[in-house]
Amino acid sequence: MEQKVLKVKHFTNVILHRANRTIRKDWQKWFIFFVAIFWVWQRDFSIHIQFYSKENAATHLESKSKESLETTKQITKGKTKPNYQQYIKDFAAIAQTEMRKFRIPASITLAQGLLESNGGKSPLASKSNNHFGIKCFSKRCAKGHCTNFSDDSHKDFFIRYKSAWESYRAHSLFLQKDRYKHLLKLAPSDYKAWAYGLKKAGYATDPKYPEKLIRLIKTYKLDQFDQP
């Protein structure tokens, strides 16, 4: 009788041992299966996100390039933009005031404002009142003094102004720096010499910057504001 009981126990233990091994193997198989599924899902999701980001970036750059190209074409062809006309009406008097005080041609100031701010519609102008793309190089500026914007494919910090007038005055003071002082000896009516002089002194990196300023001045007849 005892032998039969022992045989039954042994048989039961063998069955349980085999069952545990089977369950363990199945659990390992399922675990590996789910890990593989998760890895494939994560990889596909990552590729999708990267593709989506690249697609968005490409779309943004394409849109920005088209906008810039269209603006350049309009200036080249002599076409006028409604917001440019309004911009001139809003800031011509300020540009003339700055000319009388600092000897900077009003035509140059207005042309730079139009070009740099896209007639006051650029994010930098509309959000920070910065109409001339003046950057902040201070490492200890107060909170809210500057803001981060893209410029020439990378980001820079630009000064934030309380009003557009402050931006115009900052522009006038900026051109009092030593590298621009020789331009103050030019006649206020000589906007062409000013345009090329600004580029030569390093105001802008665009090789066509002088030509763009001159086209704007001619298209919108900005030289009429250079009269004292």
Residue 149 located in a structural domain: yes
Pair 125, 202 in one domain: yes
Give residues with Cβ within 8 angstroms of 110, minimum separation 6: 87, 88, 91, 92, 95, 216, 217, 220, 222, 225
Residue 75 located in a structural domain: no
Pair 169, 90 in one domain: yes
List per-residue pLDDT tens for the chain, 228 residues long: 555 545 545 655 655 566 556 555 566 666 665 656 665 456 554 444 343 344 443 443 344 444 444 544 554 454 668 799 999 999 999 999 999 999 999 999 999 999 999 999 999 999 999 999 988 765 566 555 566 555 444 457 899 999 999 999 999 999 999 999 999 999 989 999 999 999 999 999 999 999 999 999 999 999 999 987
Residue 41 located in a structural domain: yes
Residue 74 located in a structural domain: no
pLDDT at 188: 86
Residue 97: what are its φ and ψ, rounded to 5°?
A: -60, -45
Q: How many domains does the chain have?
A: 2
Domain that holds residue 33: 1-69
Domain containing 157 — which CATH number? Answer: 1.10.530.10
- Last residue within a domain, chosen from 43, 69, 95: 69
Pair 13, 120 in one domain: no
Residue given tokens 């105001």 in the structure block: 203
Residue 216 located in a structural domain: yes
DSSP conformation class of 114: H
Residue 40 located in a structural domain: yes
